Structure 1
């Protein structure tokens, strides 16, 4: 077993070679295989191991969508879309977007932890199997999905040693003992199975039925207890049984005994923190634990440190702060303890209040240099934002808080490519609110904006009219903003008037951030009306406001607007190109793939205007790759200009030459558009590092080269959240808890 100097675990996957071979065989003869078994049986690890070995068999990609953090059936398709890096900008549901993306590809999709979302998972799988003929699905669940054609493989326990095993060699021939030895060694580097302790290790592993989670929890105590003491305590707790976990009887007994024993070893404060932290759906930081548990920083830190030491919590290193997560089975155990305590409602409210404050803080810092940090914190908290929203919607009189949590930083949802999800939360909050609730008109206006983003103009008009009918002065600029956007997309007159009204009122209120998008609309509308000087002045003012505040995302929008005005309406072509290129530099730096698609498309217009037809076709090809990565296309806002230049380029080159240049452009990295030299892989070696996929291998090597998540996202032209998801998968496969361990492992895998 490899170790690093800091004592952290560098454990390997304890193999299930026969099980892996059988799962691969089943995937070769059917399109849906479900791995079933008790919680803690190792379903996720086996699925990841199998999937990582099949990357060459699926040229369309291998994708893992984890459902464990979800508690809402409606979000299953959205979770898959997130894993695929899809933006929901088109006028279709998340499920339609996922099916559209996967339909032409020979792909493997892994759905992990389906058991608590069986209806949503079954509906998604049924649709995908019907609509995507080359898609193969591998699911993990405590029970089958119940779909025709499903092949179910029930994962057995790890192989057990014989009761008569008396030597380390005999004992280590079993998977259960190998796992215990590796996990114990990661906690106490001096530990090994010896002649003196082998009988106790065998007794313990047999008592734990070879269940991986039970073995890992037991091994975590090796620093303070011997194998003999651990085995004795597990056996003494055999009579302490309870119900509540949906497991087969024998495995239920084994796991419950182990969990009760682990719980009994905790201090009173640690038990409280275990129960209260079960409300978290995803990863959480120390400040969240303090708020939810009602403890001081010192007390919360001591308890969390103890729970990490006992393997109840898992440490997750981030770029600027440490987070923690709890395996779902341990979360369920803690939730039962919380329910028994009678504190469930109060703790859930504290959880919701914490994330409502997080949104409020993000709103206050969004328009400025703190925007990236705000986005990262919200992204890390996304699973718990969803949980806080769900709780607010199912709790009487709390729906107004849910509405404010969504509309407070609507930019976050759009940057995630989750406009459909935002629309759904807003609609559900509005439906649950009394008609005379404060903030209803504002919510309706923002719902109108979100509908317009999907080109759902009838719904957008309906929402806008409903907002206007309430006659709420506070909502007036929001209503004007929504009406301006709808009118522009509908090519109706007066969009300029309403955009100007929104800009004026937001300005009078000192709300510069909310001036930005209507100011963009006003500037583009001026250009459409032939007032190029007016457009230049207004969009220049927008750029200046962003520069003064240290804001980037709206600055990119302003630069692009200035470029469109110059390129599309007879302005200075060189100046327009400079604006669009500057916008693209921002988008690539912030990993905003959707915006980058617009910018590259705009540079294709520049080349077409110069009659540099080959370059124009290549740029259209590069843009097409970006649109595809987002599962989007040039929408109503730029479709006319895009179509005009695209058709002119095709006509000038002819079909054959256009297609060849377009194909060449599709193969290019968008960084090449800016004439930047791509960063080489750390050692030039491109082989896949098992058990990682090709993309995970790329990311692992870039981590080893010292790049942060933002730099990796920029280099690979993917969303930062996609990098974070891949790193989570890597940490699960390799049992690593920090980047240093990963870097050392990569160095060991890649020969010099």
Structure 2
């Protein structure tokens, strides 16, 4: 349930305990519904909040969500970021705020809203609405200043404790958090480092001089490979009068942090300083290719950028984030602000920002080129990792004169990505804003209007879709013709108007003439269903079968699922074979659960309920409707696009056959089941669930068994329909309970418990 925020880039395993502060935060959360942790940047608010939040999962059965705002520079996206953290898809007729409220209103949940200070108005407006409309919600916020709301409990977070000067032994010194943090970070850099009788006085002197500020201590500890604690303390003291001018922190300890950042900057090579400044344009995490594209030039080649990135990681200016296939980097917001000030002073700000935008425009082009094929999953993952910077690149283009057309091209490049994220409404907003920023005669306008119409139709906003289609058709632009035909076909299908098949076939033909196979797929699906609707079942089977074969030959999955679902719908709903229909829909569901496409999975589960209803297996149908409803709720959606009539028909028939009481009982049973159970069939469900594994909770037992089965955190998240961060939190709790250091130990333990005594 979390967003990729700074919470994620700083693992809780390296957290230095602040027991008193943690206890006070928990007490305040029990006493009120809004607690804001305030304090200077770098004081440790985020880590403290994350530690407390992760310890309260049992107290909030509705979930603990973490939404990090540090990547945002646009007030409009605050509610969307919280929706992302909750895993919500945007839906017809609802704003992002309405979607969040609808999801949280019936749940006792904790929302951690991290780094609010630069978006105070948007954060305050969001929290006000959530607390007003969600009676069991509690909000924990972090900010350099309070939100200024009624009922807010404000807790100023002090720096870590520091020893008195007379503390003379390592044992005494280690009772203070600042010393423990320095020792841990220094040992990460230089494993042989220890706090000893001979250096403890210098470590204490350094921690005192840095006022116990965690970020300052980390920056100082990063120098331990080249300098002793005594030398670092001397350097800090000799540079105490040097203040960074770009950071507004008026009190003395804030000046200490400014001085430490400035000192760290002064110890960088000239190339590292340049790369630090240029990397400040990144809003989120970025990989080496992005750093090279943005930072190279003006005397720096790619190799120099690589060396500088390595040096900045070594100095703790950049945090390294290990991924499954590539390393990413992230800069803490305070260091990013410092670098941004230096970039502005250099006069290179506009050129570097343009390079940043061009890199992410290229990334979208690459994703579009590889989406329809075996590289689809990688393309989706790369776009997901870059999402904050795609937003920043779009925003920069919209606020920079003459760049609106580039923003439009980026927005319409891979609409499948935005739909898969559940963010079609956000995409529609970017397109509309780009169209407003462009002169009326700009080439590509008609195409943009047609895609905006398609997005409006996805939200069942048919008047908005027709308005945009009319504007697109009024522009004479042959390049836009297939996009207009596609959007028109979709609108007509949703409104059951004539000529749906004709316009869909036109779009398929025109995209085919351009060799654009990817964009043929959705109109081909529409055409196939329209053929079945007109009574041509053989024609529908042939066309959707051709779509399926095209996807299989290309190694593509998401449109393959759509083709399978289409084949299932025409069999089940238009007089075909129920067994074939079930087989097709089950195959589509397998793909959706593997790719974590919960919205599509909800449609597929609904389709399996139709099959059971057709067979008059009424209890099974009601259970499947219940399981589908869990996913509709998870996506904050309803089956109100494309399948409204069919859903209502089978749902109503099932309820009438069982009666309200029996239907509700079966529906509730289905709600309790995992979507994967639908693939197992009723026979497997009758066998019952395996017993819990004491001392683990039922959910922890479930996750432990999936680890033992060899599933990754990502696979477990997809299977259980939860966020990957939630899986990681459960695994932390399991490791603490069992004192295990790795997954292998856990797997062996699970196997022994399930096997039982010999």
TM-score under structure 1 normalisation? 0.93
Q: How does 1:589-738 map to 2 (within 5 A)?
A: 589-675=594-680, 684=693, 687=696, 706-718=710-722, 722-723=723-724, 725=725
Query: Aligned equivalents of 1:58 and 1:96: distance in 2?
Result: 21
Please list, as runs of the form range in 1=range in 2, the aligned pairs for 1:384-423 lying within 5 A after superposition.
384-423=389-428
Equivalent residue number for residue 206 of structure 1: 208
User: Which among 303, 319, 333 is matched to residue 338 of structure 2?
Assistant: 333
Contact 2:693 2:701 in 1 (8 A): no
Match of 1:286 among 275, 278, 288: 288
Query: 2:6 matched to which residue of 1?
Result: none
Distance in structure 2 (CA, Å) of the matches to 1:680 and 1:225: 58
CA distance in 2, matches of 1:697, 1:317: 27
**Deviations 1:140-187, CA, capped at 9 Å, x for gaps:** 000111111111110011111011111222222222112111221222
Q: Name the stretch that deviates more: 503-512 or 457-466.
A: 503-512
Q: What is aligned with 2:357?
A: 352
Following the alignment from structure 1 to structure 2, what is the Cα–Cα distance between the partners of residues 661 and 451?
A: 35
Cα distance change on mapping 1:387 and 1:702 into 2, 3 Å: farther
2:519 and 2:403 map into 1 onto residues whose CA distance is 26
Cα distance change of structure 1 residues 674 and 733 upon mapping to structure 2, 3 Å threshold: closer
Cα separation, partners in 2 of 1:667 and 1:518, compared to 1, 3 Å: same
C-alpha deviation, 1:658, in angstroms: 1.2
Q: Is the 8 A contact 1:567 1:573 kept in 2?
A: yes
- The equivalent of 1:267 in structure 2 is 269
Within the candidate set 364, 367, 372, 1:362 is matched to: 367
| 1:138 equivalenced with 2:136 (yes/no) | no
- For residues 24-59 of structure 1, the C-alpha deviation after alignment (integer angstroms, 9 at most, x for no partner) is 111112111100000001101111111122222111
C-alpha distance in structure 2 between counterparts of 1:216 and 1:743, whole Å: 29
**1:748: Cα distance to partner?**
13
- Partners of 1:55 and 1:61 within 8 A in 2: yes
Decide which of 557, 577, 581 is 1:552's aligned counterpart. 557
Give, in angstroms, the shift of residue 712 of structure 1.
2.5
Distance 2:12 2:92 in 1: 44
Counterparts in 2 of 1:380 and 1:695: CA distance versus 1, 3 Å: farther
Aligned in 2, Cα 1:609/1:680: closer, same or farther, shift over 3 Å? closer
What is the distance in 2 between the residues matched to 1:469 and 1:176? 67
Cα separation, partners in 2 of 1:726 and 1:280, compared to 1, 3 Å: farther
User: Do the aligned partners of 2:25 and 2:52 also contact (CA within 8 Å) in 1?
Assistant: yes
State how far apart, in whole Å, the 2-side matches of 1:283 and 1:680 are. Answer: 40
What corresponds to 1:27 in structure 2?
29
Question: Within the alignment, does 1:314 sit opposite 2:319 as a pair?
Answer: yes
1:10/1:186 contact within 8 Å kept: no
Q: Which residue does the alignment assign to 1:515?
A: 520
Structure 1 range deviating more: 231-240 or 171-180? 171-180
Counterpart of 2:489?
484
Cα 1:113–1:10, aligned 2, differ >3 Å: closer, same or farther? closer
Contact 2:700 2:731 (8 Å CA) reproduced: no
> Residue 560 of structure 1 contacts residue 580 of structure 1 at CA under 8 Å; is this kept in 2?
yes
- 8 Å Cα contact 1:696/1:727 also seen in 2: no
Residue number in structure 2 paired with 1:124: 126
Which secondary structure state, in structure 1, belongs to the residue aligned with residue 638 of structure 2?
A: coil
**Residues 24 and 50 of structure 1 are in contact (CA less than 8 Å); yes or no, is this contact kept in structure 2?**
yes
Please state if 1:373 is matched with 2:375.
no
Deviation at 1:415, TM superposition (A): 0.6
Contact 1:338 1:344 survives alignment (8 Å): yes
CA displacement, residues 365-394 of structure 1 (integer Å, 9 cap, x when unaligned): 111111111111101100100010011001
Measured after TM superposition, the shift of residue 717 of structure 1 is 2.7
- Residues 299 and 453 of structure 1: is their aligned pair in 2 closer, same or farther, counting only changes over 3 Å? same
Q: Is the 8 A contact 1:40 1:211 kept in 2?
A: yes
Cα-to-partner distance string for 1:492-541 (whole Å, 9 max, x where unaligned): 22222211111111111111111111111111111112221221121111
SS, match of residue 490 in structure 2: helix
Distance 2:691 2:221 in 1: 36
Structure 2 residues without counterparts, runs of 5 or longer: 1-9, 735-739, 754-758
Q: For 1:397-429, what per-residue CA distance to the aligned partner results, in whole angstroms no more than 9, with x for missing partners?
A: 011111111101011000111111101100100
Map 1:432-511 onto structure 2 (within 5 A). 432-511=437-516
Match of 1:229 in 2: 231
Aligned residue for 1:56, secondary structure, equals coil
Report deviation, 1:569.
Answer: 1.0
- Native 8 Å contact 1:63 1:84 kept in 2: yes
Structure 2 partner of 1:52 = 54
Work out which of the residue numbers 78, 98, 101 in structure 1 matches 2:100: 98
Question: How far off is 1:600 after superposition?
Answer: 0.8
| Match of residue 40, structure 1, among 32, 42, 47 | 42
Q: Alpha carbons of 1:710 and 1:29: their partners in 2 closer, same or farther (altered >3 Å)? A: closer
Equivalent residues in 2 for 1:165-204, closer than 5 Å: 165-204=167-206
Q: Aligned in 2, Cα 1:698/1:22: closer, same or farther, shift over 3 Å?
A: farther
Whose relative contact order is higher, 1 or 2, with alpha carbons under 8 Å and at least 6 apart? 1
Give the match's secondary structure for 2:29: helix
What are the Cα deviations for residues 327-365 of structure 1, in whole angstroms up to 9, with x where unaligned?
111111111111111111111010000000000011111
TM-fit CA distance, 1:123: 1.0
Equivalence for 1:246: 248
**Within the alignment, does 1:530 sit opposite 2:554 as a pair?**
no
- Deviation sequence 1:615-635 (CA, Å, 0-9, x none): 111111111111111111101
> How far 1:189 sits from its partner (Å)?
2.1
In structure 2, distance between residues paired with 1:746 and 1:13: 23
Alignment match, 2:347? 342
Residue 596 of structure 2 corresponds to residue 587 of structure 1? no
Quick one: structure 1 residues 709 and 354, their matched pair in 2 at CA, closer, same or farther if it must change by over 3 Å? farther
User: 2 CA distance for matches of 1:113 and 1:272?
Assistant: 26
User: Residues 695 and 471 from structure 1, CA distance in 2 versus in 1: closer, same or farther, beyond 3 angstroms?
Assistant: farther
| Aligned-partner Cα distance in 2 for 1:148–1:428 | 35
The 1:497/1:392 distance shift into structure 2, 3 A limit, reads same
Cα separation, partners in 2 of 1:362 and 1:275, compared to 1, 3 Å: same
Partners of 1:703 and 1:742 within 8 A in 2:
no
Indicate how the Cα distance of structure 1 residues 53 and 132 shifts in structure 2: closer, same or farther if over 3 A, else same.
Answer: same
Inter-partner Cα distance in structure 2 for 1:731 and 1:218: 32
SS class of match (1:323): strand
* Aligned CA distance change for structure 1 residues 89 and 469 (closer, same or farther; 3 Å): same
User: Is the CA contact (8 Å cut-off) linking 2:482 and 2:511 kept in structure 1?
Assistant: yes
User: Which of the residues 540, 561, 565 maps onto 2:570?
Assistant: 565
SS at match of 2:58: helix
Give the Å deviation of 1:441. 0.2
The alignment partner of 2:240 has SS state of: helix
Classify 1:680/1:615 alpha carbon distance in 2 versus 1 (closer, same or farther; 3 Å): closer
Secondary structure in 2 matching 1:101: helix
Cα RMSD, aligned residues only: 2.7
CA distance in structure 1 between the partners assigned to 2:668 and 2:110 by the alignment: 26
Shift in Å, 1:289: 0.6
Candidates 82, 89, 98, aligned match of 1:80: 82
